[in-house]
Every structure is written in C-alpha cells, then in structure tokens.
Amino acid sequence: MPVAIGRGRLISSRLYSIALLAHEQGNSMKQHRLAAAVALVSLVLAGCDSQTSVELKTPAQKASYGIGLNMGKSLAQEGMDDLDSKAVAQGIEDAVGKKEQKLKDDELVEAFAALQKRAEERMAKMSEESAAAGKKFLEDNAKKDGVVTTASGLQYKITKKADGPQPKPTDVVTVHYTGKLTNGTTFDSSVDRGSPIDLPVSGVIPGWVEGLQLMHVGEKVELYIPSDLAYGAQSPSPAIPANSVLVFDLELLGIKDPAKAEAPDAPAAKK
C-alpha cells in the first residue's frame, strides 16, 4: 500500500515560508500539505512562462516534469483545479528578482486559509457521500444469496469451499487478493502483480483479521468490509476515498511458520 511522503528539502522559497506561517496559525496538517504542494509547484514553474516551450530531453528535465505533473494531480485531488499558473509565475519572478511583493503577508495567509477551508469542505462532503453510499451498499448486499453478515458488520461470501485448517491470530498466512471499491475499481491486487504475499493475521485491517480466521486453507471468499473495519476516515491512498466500503476477492493459500514469513505488503493495520 502507498506510504506517506514527507516534506523534502527542495521547498525553501519565501512562498513556502508564507505557506508555513499559514500552517502554524491554523495548526492543520492538511493545510501544511496543501501549502507545501503549492510551494513545490511554484518552484517547478520557476523560469518558465506560457510562451516558452520546455525541453524534456535530459533525465533532470524529465524528472522535473514528473514532479510538476504529480504535484498538479495532487492539487487537483485537493480541489485546487483553478490554480492560476500566471500568478504563480509572477510570484516566482518577483521573488527571484527581489522585487516588492504585490500582496502583504497577511493577505497571503488569508488566501491560504480560504483554500484550505474550501478543500476541507470538499473532502467533508465527499466523505459524507461515501459513508452514505457504503451504508446502502452493505444493506443491499446483505440481502443477496450466499452473503453472511457477522456481528461486527463484516460481510462475506464463500466462492470456493475447502476443508483445510483455519488460521489463528498468531499465524502468518499466504494469500492472493484483489481489492476493489464498491464500483468495481481495483486499487490493489497481488493477483495482478503475479505474486501471493505472506502476512501476519493480526497485522492487517480489522476486516481482514476477522475474515482470515473464518477461512479454511484453499478457500476463496469475497469480503465486504465496512469502513470502520477498514480505513475509516483516514484513507491511506487517494485511490481509496475516505469512509469507503472495501471489497476483496481473497484466497487463503496456506499457513506458514511466522519465523520464515516475509514482511507483508497487504492492507496494513490502522494505527
């Protein structure tokens, strides 16, 4: 699964200082990431304008473009699809040319705060919609033939029955899986990678912990995991919206000696 990316040393402009000030006043980690993203995009755009064709030949040029592309996508996901590239370029030009800045620091802090508020409102709405859609999905899914709902709210359906041993919480198991959203979009798959994984039963998300212990070696099941048994509001990846119900096609291939198991790549336990 994706890992968090920390702030790098590339961000050192005055724009980042203003962004950091906005973060410190708001004491918000999301605001910090938003400000840092704006600053990094600004740095990437340094020396470029809308009339200049950028060469993408050397590894450094290609990597620079990749940084800008990735950060642009990140900003779009945060709801900043109206970033004014000309204003960004003007800010870079004023800073590099040591010109008087056109906006006061408190105006910039106010602007960052407004963008952060907009992003938070957008994410809150998406989270609310995702939670409502997940609840309806589980209600409808529970009525389908073969679907079993446990006391925790976990749902599962056996698609291939077997009579092998069942794992304990202390076991390490070998599995194949495909993780999907309720709309069928795949966000992770050991099957697509062509390699099963080993993982500790007690070291994954709660829905997996429970589901694995219900399975017999050789079985295949579909797990329908409520958001509170998955990642809840703390999504580990942009590919998984907050409060998402997750659907896994899961095959239990075997139970291993924990001492011989490799580090897992499967859905990590919530912290």
Q: Which residues are catalytic?
A: 177, 187-188, 205, 231, 248
Amino acid at position 229, single letter: L
Helical spans, DSSP H, in 168-259: 190-193, 206-214
Quick check: 29 and 107 in contact, CB under 8 A? no
Q: Which of 181, 196, 203 is nearest to 248 (CA)?
A: 181
State the amino acid at position 172 in one-letter form: V
Q: Is 257 helix (H, G, I), strand (E, B) or coil?
A: coil
CB distance 202 to 170 below 8 Å: yes
> What CA–CA distance (Å, rounded) separates 22 from 27?
8
Q: Does residue 212 contact residue 254 with C-beta atoms inside 8 Å?
A: no
